[in-house]
Amino acid sequence: MTTLPTPAMRPARPEFSSGPCAKRPGWNPQALQNAVLGRSHRSKPGKARIQDAINRTRAVLEVPDDFLIGIVPGSDTGAVEMALWSMLGPKPIQLLAFESFGKDWVTDVVKQLKLPAEVLDAPYGQLPDVSKVRADADLVFTWNGTTSGVRVPNADFISADREGIVICDATSAAFAQSLDWTKLDVVTFSWQKALGGEAAHGVLILSPRAVARLESYTPAWPMPKLFRMTKANKDGGNKVSLDIFEGATINTPSMLCVEDAIDALKWAEGIGGLAEMRRRADANLAVLAEWVEKTAWVEFLAADPAIRSNTSVCLKVVDPRVTGLSDDAQADFAKKLAAALEKEGVALDVGGYRDAPPGLRIWCGATVETSDLEALTPWLDWAFAKTAADLQAA
């Protein structure tokens, strides 16, 4: 087998990592020049910048006015676990697990909190049977599976008359997909995904129903300080600490990261807001879909287009010369394929997730330019041909 000629065009930006993701187009460090540095984050200017980030998040994501938005430690994981530890317990629990992070939440609930729960799972590339979701139970799920390339197409499976609360990990869905705020009570994400922001900070969004749960229920287990969202009132009950959602954070945030998030949100506003963010992600996915349609050696991990992610796009190698290998050899081939792309400097950090079927994972969120994906696809074919030739020669 011969290798293909080296493609003439290269992506202008080879950052296709699924987190931290590509910075917004045109970003440079000068975007951070207004950061409040060397000051307390609780100083008047510090709180003002944090509140600005919260306000812009509400505007771009079109979050209802009666929902609370807070910046919390520990990235998206911290935000999800704050909700799990603080709210679960008084009702039956269901969890959807169709990729690695959903499985992490199962571990948290079942093995750490030791709560009885029904797990609705599915293999990589598929969704669980969401018709089994109950209105009388609390629900925990990822809207978009970052490691599987699978998303829920909508929230129709969640009852509008539900008794339980819905905790949604939306970290690779926010700013790229349509979240149904009428069906969600806790929504979490991190700046490092669709905004191309920096890591370590999470965003926690609470509906009035989630606030009511916090104020009416006290968990039986000890609560770490980082997870505490309520304070005792004079009557001995709980009251949500509103200052967390008004610019005062639980612990000290990086004001450089806050400023970077503000910059990304300003960019999102400037290009047309949420609708344009979604359009850009859809256009990026369309480039890969057109290429996959005419390429024999690759397929989407999510076979059904209705549940296919437009951000964390996962691809699997289906060439018989590779699928006929042992599992370890297939995984090694996928690693070499990603390494060939990285060595050429045309696609960085695009290896599939370690627990997923061997393949590639290419971020297609709005901060990625469509022209860069168009330039990438010939390189994907080149890298496959080279890696396959090396395999044949070995």
Provide the number of structural domains found in the chain: 2
Are residues 66 and 148 part of one domain? yes
Of 223, 247, 268, which one is at a domain's C-terminal end? Answer: 268
For position 1, what pLDDT does the model report? 52
User: Does the structure show a pLDDT above 90 at 33?
Assistant: yes
Query: Residues 95-120: what's their mean pLDDT?
Result: 97
Are residues 281 and 241 part of one domain? no
* All residues at 6 or more sequence positions from 221 whose CB lies less than 8 Å from its CB, including other chains: 85, 113
User: Does the structure show a pLDDT above 90 at 29?
Assistant: yes
- Give which of 371, 376, 366, 364 is closest to 312, Cα–Cα: 364
Query: Residues 367-384: what's their mean pLDDT?
Result: 98
Mean pLDDT score across all residues of the chain: 96
Q: pLDDT tens-digit profile of 282-303?
A: 999 999 999 999 999 999 999 9
For position 170, what pLDDT does the model report? 98
User: Any alpha helices (H) in 272-365, and if so which ranges?
Assistant: 273-293, 320-323, 327-343
What pTM does this model have? 0.97
Query: Residues 164-172: what's their mean pLDDT?
Result: 98
Are residues 37 and 170 part of one domain? yes
Are residues 248 and 125 part of one domain? yes
Whether 4 maps to a domain, the answer reads no
Are residues 284 and 151 part of one domain? no
Q: Would you place residue 237 in the very low, low, confident or very high pLDDT band (cuts 50, 70, 90)? A: confident
Query: Residues 83-97: what's their mean pLDDT?
Result: 98
Query: Residues 40-46: what's their mean pLDDT?
Result: 91
Whether 12 maps to a domain, the answer reads no
**Residue 165 is part of which domain span?**
29-268
User: Does the structure show a pLDDT above 80 at 234?
Assistant: no
Are residues 282 and 258 part of one domain? no
Query: Residues 47-52: what's their mean pLDDT?
Result: 96
Give the bridge partners for 363, in sequence order.
312
For position 3, what pLDDT does the model report? 72
**Residue type present at position 244:** I
**Number of other residues whose CB lies within 10 A of the CB of residue 269:** 14
For position 232, what pLDDT does the model report? 83
- Give which of 141, 164, 166 is closest to 151, Cα–Cα: 141
pLDDT above 70 as % of the chain: 99
User: Does the structure show a pLDDT above 90 at 222?
Assistant: yes
**What are the two backbone dihedrals, phi and then psi, of residue 152, each rounded to the nearest 5 degrees?**
-75, 140
**Number of other residues whose CB lies within 10 A of the CB of residue 169:** 28
Whether 81 maps to a domain, the answer reads yes
Q: pLDDT tens-digit profile of 316-338?
A: 999 999 999 999 999 999 999 99
Q: How many helices (H) and strands (E) does the chain have?
A: 9, 14
Are residues 253 and 298 part of one domain? no
Q: pLDDT tens-digit profile of 118-165?
A: 999 999 999 999 999 999 999 999 999 999 999 999 999 999 999 999
Q: Would you place residue 251 in the very low, low, confident or very high pLDDT band (cuts 50, 70, 90)? A: confident
Are residues 350 and 215 part of one domain? no
